[in-house]
Amino acid sequence: MLKPDVRGFFDPATATWTYVVWAEGAADKKCAVIDSVLDYDMASGRASTASTDKVIYFIRSKGLQVEWILETHIHADHLTASRYLREKLGGKTAISRHILDVLKTWQPVFHNEDDTPLDGSQFDYLFKDDEVFSIGALEARIIHAPGHTPADTAYIIGDAAFVGDAMFLPDVGTGRCDFPGGSAANSYDSTRKLLDLPEDYRMYVGHDYPPDDARAPLCMATIAEQKSANILAGAAASREAFIKKRTESDKNKSVPALLLPSLQVNLRAGAFGRETGGVQYIKIPLNVV
């Protein structure tokens, strides 16, 4: 099996990992970008591409060609830079077809259907569960891993699993399940699917929140390490115990600072909305969320 090379880029403002995935040994120079970040300042409503420009610089300096721009889910804590990346480097934007459920959930909140199609056509491609695809010579497949949101997807590329927020590093646990359509029970079932991967596979997480200052943000643990040490979802965790702990920990969690702009932009596959008088707007629904 061809094993991918992986470069992670950490965004300290949102604790997000963006990944570039390619195979140094392959002649084709194709790569995928997973979970990119568009910097956004809520107070001023100003977006910046500084974080993604570092990713673009890396891709260009390696002479790589972007084939896929992938999202593990509709993020609620950062804006995707997928549209900007596609403009700069090409490639196809893609996400799980379960995005259609997420679009349906948020339509009554934002009423943005004039520029946010409910059929998901703003993405270049929607993956089916268990779909197999390729990134140049690299073999890849999809595992539907709902729980954090209904549309979470893990991308298994060679021996590397990019799991978004379905699991975090062993000392952090798993992603919250209190968003609309989230489910602690589904999350547990998804962690079992991921832990069923071979023990030497590398699991790359979507965020890292180090429990204390003693450890720097990290991005990877092996399946064996996750099985033996994940504080919430290790191999020994029972379904009941996981659901109880996950639900308790999600009680009274604050709304992510960038929830409203993130959802609107991410549901449009990285585009800001239709212009009014040459200006684009983020809607703030009052007393809904």
Q: Which residues bind Fe ion (CB under 5 A)?
A: 75, 165
Q: CA torsion angle for 140, 218, 166, 288 (degrees, to 10)?
A: -120
CB of 165 to Fe ion, least distance (A): 4
CB of 173 to Fe ion, least distance (A): 14
Residue corresponding to tokens 């200052």: 213
- Closer residue to Fe ion, CB minimum distance, 71 or 165: 165
Nearer to Fe ion, 39 or 77 (CB): 77
CB-nearer residue toward Fe ion: 89 or 94: 94
Please say which residue, 67 or 165, places its beta carbon nearer to Fe ion: 165
Cβ-based nearer residue to Fe ion, 75 or 97? 75
Least CB distance to Fe ion at residue 68 (A):
19
Looking at the Cβ atoms of 30 and 98, the one nearer to Fe ion is 98
Q: Which amino acid is at 85?
A: L
Q: Which of 212, 113, 98, 217 is closest to 154 using CA atoms?
A: 98
Smallest gap, in angstroms, from Cβ of residue 218 to Fe ion? 18
Q: Which is nearer to Fe ion, 11 or 165 (CB)?
A: 165
For Fe ion, the closer of residues 139 and 189 by Cβ is 189
CB of 253 to Fe ion, least distance (A): 12
* Residue 202 region by backbone torsions, left for phi larger than 0, else alpha for psi between -120 and 50, else beta: beta
Residue 261: CB partners within 8 Å, gap ≥ 6? 40, 42, 79, 282
Give the nearest residue (CB) to Fe ion: 165
Smallest distance from Fe ion to CB 74, Å: 8
Closest CA to 194 of 183, 205, 209: 205
Whole-number minimum distance, CB 276 to Fe ion, in Å?
30
Shortest distance, position 18 Cβ to Fe ion, whole Å? 13
Q: Residue 58 and residue 264: Cα distance in Å, rounded?
A: 28
